[in-house]
Structures are given as C-alpha cells and as structure tokens.
Amino acid sequence: MIIGTAGHIDHGKTALIKALTGVDTDRLKEEKARGITLDLGYAYWPLPNGEVLGFIDVPGHEGLVRNMLAGATGIDFALLVVAADDGPMPQTQEHLAILQLLGIRRGAVALTKIDTVAAARVPEARQEIRALLTNGPLADLPIFPVSSVTGQGVADLRAHIEDAAKKGSQKPAEGYFRLAIDRVFTLNGIGLVVTGTAFSGRARVGDRLVVSPAGLDARVRSLHVQDRKAESGHAGQRCALNLTGERLSKEALRRGDWLVEAAGYAPAQRLDVRLTLAPTAKTLTQWTAVHFHLGAGSQPARVVLLEGETLAPGSTTLAQIALSRPEEARGLDRFVLRDPSARHTLGGGVVLDPYGPTRYRRSPARLAWLAALEHADHGEALGALLTQAGEADLSLFARVRNLRPDEAPHPRSVPPCRTVSTRNADYLISEARWRQWQDTILAALSRYHEDHPDLLGIDPERLQRLAAPTASRAVLEAALEELRSRQKLTRSGPWWHLPEHGIRLAQSEMQLWETLSPLLAAHPFEPPRVRDMARGLHEDEERVRLTLKHLARLGEVYEVAHDHFFTRQAVAQLAEELEALATEQGAAEAAAFRDRIATGRKLAIRILEFFDRIGYTRRVHDEHRLRRQGPALAAMEKQTFC
C-alpha cells in the first residue's frame, strides 16, 4: 500500500512521517536549509508481517501543486495533515479537492502540532476539519490529534494505518505493466535508475519494457520494490528499476514518462473522459486551454465538451481532452485539470476511452459507447455495450482497459450475443443487433433489385455501405454467410442477391456470346478488344460492349481494362501465375510478369493494376505484393474469380 501526505505548507507533513517511520523524507540540501519540502520525498515502513508500506511526502506550497500531483496520483491511502494552530488553510482545501478528484476514498486526518496549542484549541480544530470534510466523499475520515515532537497520538495513527494496510492496494493486478516515472537518476557502478508507482500488472528482472511516449526499448537489469531488492514488482508498489537499453540515458527520460510492457505500449492523444468541474471554477467553454495531470506528469491540453457548449461549476459532462503529446492513459485512470498558469485546480475525472475519435465524437452511438464504459467492472461495462450499442470489439475493449487477451470478460458473462472472430479481433454482437443487421441486409437487397433489375446483385463493399456502414467487414461477412446457409441469400461470383432474383441474357445476346467466347479463349492472356471483335464479326461495337458488360455482371468475364474483357478462367490462371511469381521473388514487377505470361509490357501493367484494384495485390513503388494480411488466397479466388 502507498500512503501519501497532503496539506498546507508548514503543517508538519515531513515531521509526521519521520515520527511514524523514522525516515526524514527531505533529501535535497535546499529543503534542509529552508526547512520546507520542495519535491517528492519517500519513506518505507516494514510491518511485523513482513510487508513494507511506502510513504510519499508531497510539498505543501501553492506553487508546487504540480509536484504534489505527481506524488498523489499513485497513492492508495491519503494522510491529510492539518496543524492545530492554523486549522484548514488554502492548500488544505486544494489538496483535499485533488484527493477527491483522484478518487481516493481511504485515509485519515492527522491534526498535528497539538503540543503548541491550548487544550481547548484541539476540539475547535477538529470541528473545523469536520466542517471541511462534510458532504464530500472523505467525510468519514477519522481524525487523530498528534504531536511529532512528543509522540502523543502517533501510536494510534500508526495502528490505524497498519489496519488499513491489511486491505492492500486497490490497483488492478491484471493487465500489462505500467509504471509512472517520477524520478530518473544514475548511480556509480549501477547505471540508469527510474522510480515510480506501478499502476497495473507486474514486471520482473529481465523483462523487456518500453519508455513511453518516446518508444525507447529497455531491459530490467535489477529491481527494488518498497526499498528492498526483489525479483518482481506489481501494481500498488513503489518500484526502482535499473534499466539498460541502446538509446537510454538520463537526459532521454523525465518525470511524467511511463514504463510499460512492450505488448501493452499504446500511447494516445485524444482521451474521452467523464469530467467534473470544481464548484469554485469558472464556467468551462469549448476548446478551453488547461494543464492536464495524469500519473506523475502534466502537459498542456484543450477540452472539447461532448454534451453541450458550456460546463457550469460543480457540473459533470462527457468530454474529450486533446493532449499536446501522447500519453500512456487507459480506461478508469484518474486525472486532474488545472488552469494554464497552473495556479488553480479546475476539476478532473476519469478516463473512459483513451482512443477518442476526431469525427463523430458527439454522435449518439459514440456517447452510448462512453456511457457503457463508465461501469468500472469489466463484465458490466461489456454487458452495457451490448445493451446500449448492440456490439463490442473485444480487442479494442481490452486495449482501452489495459487487459491482456486472456483477461477480457468471457462472452458468457454478458447478455446473449454472437461472437465473430478474425485474425486480429473478436467481435461481440447482441442477438437483437444481429437480427436487425440481417433484416436490414435483406431489405437493402430487395430495394437494390427493384432499382436495378438488370443487375445480378451487389458487391460486398457496396452492400456494407447500404446496409451496415458501422459494422466491421468481418461481421458483415459472417452475417451474409449465415443468411446464405439459411437460403435467404445467394452468391454468384462476387455478387450477392436474393435467391429469387436473377438476370438472363437475351436470346440474341446468348447467340453473340457463343461467337465471342472462342475469340476470348483463343488468346486467354491477350484477348482482342471490343472494337477488334466487333470489326472482325461485322457486329455493332456497342452491342458487343453491352453484351460483355452483361456477362461481367454474371461473373463470366472481367473487364480488366477499358473494353478489354478476360474470361473468368483466364483471370484465375493469371492470379496463379502472379502468386507463383510473387512467392519466388517476394513481389511481382511488370517486366517479370510480362515475361511469365508472354504478353506486351503495357498489357501486363494493366493486368497488375486490375489485381491491385480488386485488392488481390497492393502496389509498393514498382512492386505488386500479395495481400498476406487479407483473406486467404483460396477465399480470394472464390470471392473474385468464381
């Protein structure tokens, strides 16, 4: 468990920690000379059961709230310090507001310096503190009158902290490792060391990590956890990691960076959040400039309100925080906003989705997604997504919540749904949304047939635009295949259509096709153009063209280039030749492909461009590469050439 102090300057925070632990957390010469805390200080307290509690001592000066926030963000237990002679002061109030915004609900109040006041002053100060806490989430914090000089009351406070430590840290043990770096230094004979509080996951000696947002690779040479040498450290612990890496240096790292597990490295720059404005702040408007505090760092940012144009003091709303640089934020992280001059705390809240969009961020579907993510329990959040939005990308949900693939909630923990798996993602779709999509697909096809009776059907891309523009391609294909298995749909080549719909060539077109077919088959890789066939057969050129276009709609031929039609058998053979060439040489170039199919260079280029156009290959400079990340070759042939 990590315990952090809070309170006004000169109220005895550092002295109290020394009385509790025996450690003076003021480590800087200037701190000792001036008698005030300027930066974060650290102390550790071994318990009888072998566990070690960590203390973070924060500065109380109004100009050092940034440093206070760097320490307070990672604590589990707040120790609010109020001097008996002064009572609550301005920084007491601001630090208390920050603790509340950070969602810290465990703690205690130390009423210090009771040895310097009359006995009657102590109950007065208690009443002032209780009035300050009233109506807030920390209203029930116990108050302990103490003297760091005489030791009075220190034993009672220590016993309360020991009892609270039995509940441990509330930080998530699951997920990828994330540590907020608050110190960077070098030691002779050891090298680079970073310290911070682990927010999630676990790190071990030898692990490969990444410094975010710079993306620097690092390896853990050794570890100290809660000031003791260890083989591993986990969420809720203070960790010091000795790092090594090719580009690592003291100058390359700073407070506010993150140390994360390589597989979980995913910095973000647009955070969708639930934002609460402090009662003392001014009305917030669109694109307000702020200082954003998360983890141990801060940076300039702008606020985009998602549920209105203004936010009144004391109110809450959904918003997007546009950061000036990427941040290793995750869902359920707590943050604080201060004004651009860093003099006043404006508010704060919780991150819902760190990967906010730039478009449609205020759409009903997007707001429903964010509302579902307000559930802290992963299973409840996923269930709300299916109930409110009808669908959920499990892989995206896991990334938002910093979950490993095997830690995402199982579909059985949510309402009845369908699971559609692809190579890179798993999608959950509620039964209601699944049926709605299928009904929409059938209705869209019916309308399409009415509007285009001369066309056999529609290709998957256009059908998606008409029927399910928000669905992923994998989900659409799964819905189509199920409809086909139920004989509600039919596929002819690349075209989807209703079973009862079909087009047939007119008798005259059938007769013309019997004449054209041998001409195309005679030179399958270099068939004659429309005008040449029309001239040779003494046929009207437009009639030949329209007949071949009708055949293309039936999937019998493909218009590889303008007025240049190839049979489907020829295109399938060309695809095989292209695959063989690309496999042998890594990619296909025009000259090599020309030689392989024995045609002219110009025609070979047009054939390659055709394969690029239909998605079978992609062009990279002068090379044409197979799309290995797309459907399998057999599926691509079936989809495009059959």
Are 268-353 and 433-497 the same fold in CATH? Answer: no
Q: What is the per-residue pLDDT for 413?
A: 66
Q: What is the per-residue pLDDT for 444?
A: 93
Q: What is the per-residue pLDDT for 639?
A: 40
Q: What is the per-residue pLDDT for 392?
A: 86
- C-alpha–C-alpha distance, residues 342 and 351, integer Å: 21
Task: For residue 469, give every residue at least 6 positions away whose Cβ sits within 8 Å of its Cβ, in sequence order, or none.
Answer: none
CB 566 within 8 A of CB 599: no
**224 forms bridges with which residues in the sheet?**
229, 240
- C-alpha–C-alpha distance, residues 505 and 509, integer Å: 6
pLDDT-wise least confident of 22-31, 326-335, 383-392, 610-619: 22-31
CATH of domain 433-497: 1.10.10.10
CB 289 within 8 A of CB 300: yes
C-alpha distances out from residue 549 to 296, 473, 492, 512, 566, Å: 65, 27, 16, 13, 11
Rounded to the nearest 5°, which phi and psi values hold at 395?
A: -65, -45
Q: Is 574 exposed, middle or buried (0-12, 13-18, 19+ CB in 10 A)?
A: buried
Among 3.30.470.20, 1.10.1060.10, 2.60.40.10, 1.10.10.10, name the CATH number for the domain at 507-641. 1.10.10.10
| pLDDT tens digits, one per residue of 344-372 | 999 999 999 999 999 989 998 899 999 99
Sheet holding 417-421, edge to edge: 391-393, 426-430, 417-421
Q: What is the per-residue pLDDT for 33?
A: 65
Residue 30, Cβ neighbours under 10 Å: how many? Answer: 10
- C-alpha–C-alpha distance, residues 409 and 394, integer Å: 9
The 3 state secondary structure assigned to 381-438 is HHHHHHHHCCEEEHHHHHHHCCCCHHHCCCHHHCCCEEEEECCCCEEEEEHHHHHHHH
- The percentage of residues in the chain with a pLDDT greater than 90, rounded to a whole number, is 70
Helix (H) or strand (E) run with residue 107 in it: strand 107-112
| pLDDT tens digits, one per residue of 411-448 | 666 778 888 887 777 888 988 889 988 999 999 999 99
Query: What is the band of 32 on the pLDDT scale with cuts at 50, 70, 90?
Result: low
Count, in order, helices (H) and strands (E) of the chain.
19, 32
Query: What is the band of 406 on the pLDDT scale with cuts at 50, 70, 90?
Result: confident
pTM here is: 0.77
pLDDT-wise least confident of 205-214, 438-447, 463-472, 537-546: 463-472
- C-alpha–C-alpha distance, residues 588 and 577, integer Å: 10
* Residue ranges covered by each domain of the chain: 2-165, 178-264, 268-353, 364-415, 433-497, 507-641
Q: How far is CA 390 from the centre of its chain?
A: 20
What would the mean pLDDT of 77-88 be, rounded to a whole number?
A: 96
Helix (H) or strand (E) run with residue 553 in it: helix 541-553
Q: What is the per-residue pLDDT for 168?
A: 76
* Structure tokens belonging to residue 99: 């603790």
CB 243 within 8 A of CB 221: yes
Does the domain at 268-353 match CATH 2.40.30.10? Answer given as: yes
Closest alpha carbon to 156 in 136, 142, 172: 142
Q: Which fold has domain 178-264?
A: Elongation Factor Tu (Ef-tu); domain 3 (2.40.30)
CATH class of 2-165: alpha beta
Query: Average pLDDT over the chain, rounded to whole?
Result: 90
Position 481 pLDDT exceeds 60: yes
Rounded to the nearest 5°, which phi and psi values hold at 405?
A: -55, -40
- Residues 214, 218, 403, 100, CA torsion sign: negative
The 3-state DSSP class for residue 357 equals coil
Query: What is the band of 628 on the pLDDT scale with cuts at 50, 70, 90?
Result: low
- C-alpha–C-alpha distance, residues 109 and 112, integer Å: 9
- C-alpha–C-alpha distance, residues 342 and 338, integer Å: 6
Q: Is 42 exposed, middle or buried (0-12, 13-18, 19+ CB in 10 A)?
A: buried
- Residues 463, 469, 474, 479, CA torsion sign: negative
| pLDDT tens digits, one per residue of 553-604 | 777 899 999 999 999 999 999 999 999 999 999 899 999 999 999 999 999 9
What would the mean pLDDT of 259-265 be, rounded to a whole number?
A: 96
Query: What is the band of 321 on the pLDDT scale with cuts at 50, 70, 90?
Result: very high
Q: What is the per-residue pLDDT for 640?
A: 37
C-alpha distances out from residue 420 to 83, 395, 430, 479, Å: 61, 12, 11, 9
**323 forms bridges with which residues in the sheet?**
301
DSSP conformation class of 495: E
The 3-state DSSP class for residue 320 equals strand
Buried b (16+ CB within 10 A) or exposed e, 327-336: bbbbbbbbbb
The DSSP result for 205-253, as a single string, is: TT-EEEEETTTEEEEEEEEEETTEEESEEETTSEEEEEEE-TT--TTT-
Closest alpha carbon to 180 in 331, 297, 305: 297
- The percentage of residues in the chain with a pLDDT greater than 70, rounded to a whole number, is 95
CB 471 within 8 A of CB 488: no
* Structure tokens belonging to residue 538: 């003494």
Query: What is the band of 637 on the pLDDT scale with cuts at 50, 70, 90?
Result: very low
pLDDT-wise least confident of 111-125, 262-276, 404-418, 513-527: 404-418
Residue 622, Cβ neighbours under 10 Å: how many? Answer: 10
| pLDDT tens digits, one per residue of 232-251 | 999 999 999 999 999 999 99
Task: For residue 48, give every residue at least 6 positions away whose Cβ sits within 8 Å of its Cβ, in sequence order, or none.
Answer: none
- Greater confidence, 317 or 639? 317
